[in-house]
Every structure is written in C-alpha cells, then in structure tokens.
C-alpha cells in the first residue's frame, strides 16, 4: 500500500473510538510543510491545561489565649499579635506542599511547623521568637519541586501568599522604650 494512503488508515484505526480528526493536506501526508507542518498527523494539537487557581487556604493568627483573627488573602492584615502562632486550613488534602514565613526583607523566619493531612490540610507555624512589633511578614504556600502544590487528586494549584503586619507596642507596654 502506498505511504500516502497508510497515514489516513492509521489515524482512522487509532481514532475508531470517536476522537476527532481534521483533513490533512496532501503535502502534509507526503511529509511536506502543509498546514499542519512536518509530521502533523492531521489531529488537532491538544489544548493546554488551564492555569491553576490559587490554593484554597484560609489563614489566621491565634494568640496565646486562643483568640483567632483572620489574615486576609488580599492586601495586608494589620495588628497581628507578636506572640501569635499562624494557622492555615484548606478543605483539600494536599500531598505536595511547602509553607514558609518571610520577614519584610524576604528572609526566612525560623518556626516550628506542624502539617496535618486528613479530610483537608491544616498547617500551624509557631515562630521560634516573637515577631517584631510593627514589622511586616508574608506566609507563602507553594511546592519545593515544581512551585505548584498538588492535592491528593493530583490537581495543581497556584502558589498562595498571605501578608500581615505585627501590632506595634502601645504606650507603657512591655518592650516599649522608656521616655
């Protein structure tokens, strides 16, 4: 059988289960540079996957007394207590994930971290030292290998960050400079 008749037959066999094909120009069947280019088998190129959406996390600051204050996903949340621990929760169970806390100069802030994965994901960050009053911080959720965290269903999610500033000491508070 001549080569130019073999390609449409192979495509028809491969797509007998209902895949769509488009007609191939004769020059493309013969290896020419037709509309599909070299080696274009007449099958439309696959559409790229959609861009991942931001990972579905909510963030909160929890003070030593257990009071919770949400940290907004947009903008900067103000007046987080310097001795607060940070919690992120998601209804999705993630299998690849990295969470880091950075200061306003983009330096990593050491913290004791705990990640619990079950019906969803809960992350607790407890900075090793109290946060600097009046300073700004950023929590970043991503993945070390490919930047996109993946849930247990292998869905990729865009990195997510939360920004906050720490409450400045009030007059007469501990740590405030003496007059």
DSSP the chain: --HHHHHHHHHHHHTTTT-------HHHHTTS--TT-TT--SSPPPPPPPPPPBP--EEEEE-TT--EEEE-SSSEEEEE-TT-EEEEEESSPEEE-EEEEEETTSPBPPEEEEEEESSSEEEEEEESSPPPTT-EEEEEEE-TTTSS-EETT--B-B-EEEEEEEPPPPTT-TTPPP-
- The pTM is what? 0.66
- Is there a domain that residue 51 lies in? no
**Model pLDDT for residues 6-48, shown as the tens digit of each residue:** 445 444 444 444 444 444 444 444 444 444 445 555 666 776 6
Round the average pLDDT of the chain to a whole number and report it: 79
- Is there a domain that residue 1 lies in? yes
Higher-confidence residue: 15 or 71? Answer: 71
74 pLDDT tier (thresholds 50, 70, 90)? confident
Which domain covers residue 111, as residue numbers?
58-166
- Same domain for 70 and 148, yes or no, is yes
> In this predicted structure, what is the pLDDT of residue 46?
74
- Same domain for 75 and 38, yes or no, is no
**Mean pLDDT value across residues 141-154:** 90
- Same domain for 131 and 80, yes or no, is yes
> In this predicted structure, what is the pLDDT of residue 35?
46
- Same domain for 80 and 136, yes or no, is yes
- Least confident span in 27-41, 82-96, 152-166: 27-41
Number of domains in the chain: 2
Cβ-proximal residues to 118 (8 Å cutoff; 6+ apart), any chain = 93
């Amino acid at each position: 059988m001549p080569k130019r008749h073999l390609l449409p037959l192979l495509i028809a066999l491969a797509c007998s289960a209902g895949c769509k094909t488009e007609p191939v120009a004769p020059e493309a069947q013969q290896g020419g540079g037709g509309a599909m280019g070299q080696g274009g088998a007449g099958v439309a190129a696959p559409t790229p996957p959609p861009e991942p959406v931001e990972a579905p996390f909510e963030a909160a600051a929890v003070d030593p007394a257990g009071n919770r204050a949400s940290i907004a996903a947009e903008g900067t949340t103000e007046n987080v207590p310097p001795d607060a621990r940070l919690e992120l929760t998601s209804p999705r169970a993630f299998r690849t994930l990295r969470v880091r806390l950075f200061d306003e100069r983009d330096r990593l802030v050491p913290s004791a971290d705990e990640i619990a994965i079950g019906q969803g994901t809960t992350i607790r960050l407890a900075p090793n030292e109290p946060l600097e009053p009046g300073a700004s911080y950023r929590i970043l959720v991503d993945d070390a290998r490919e930047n996109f965290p993946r849930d247990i269903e292998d869905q990729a999610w865009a990195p997510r960050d939360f920004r906050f500033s720490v409450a400045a000491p009030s007059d007469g508070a501990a740590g405030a400079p003496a007059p």
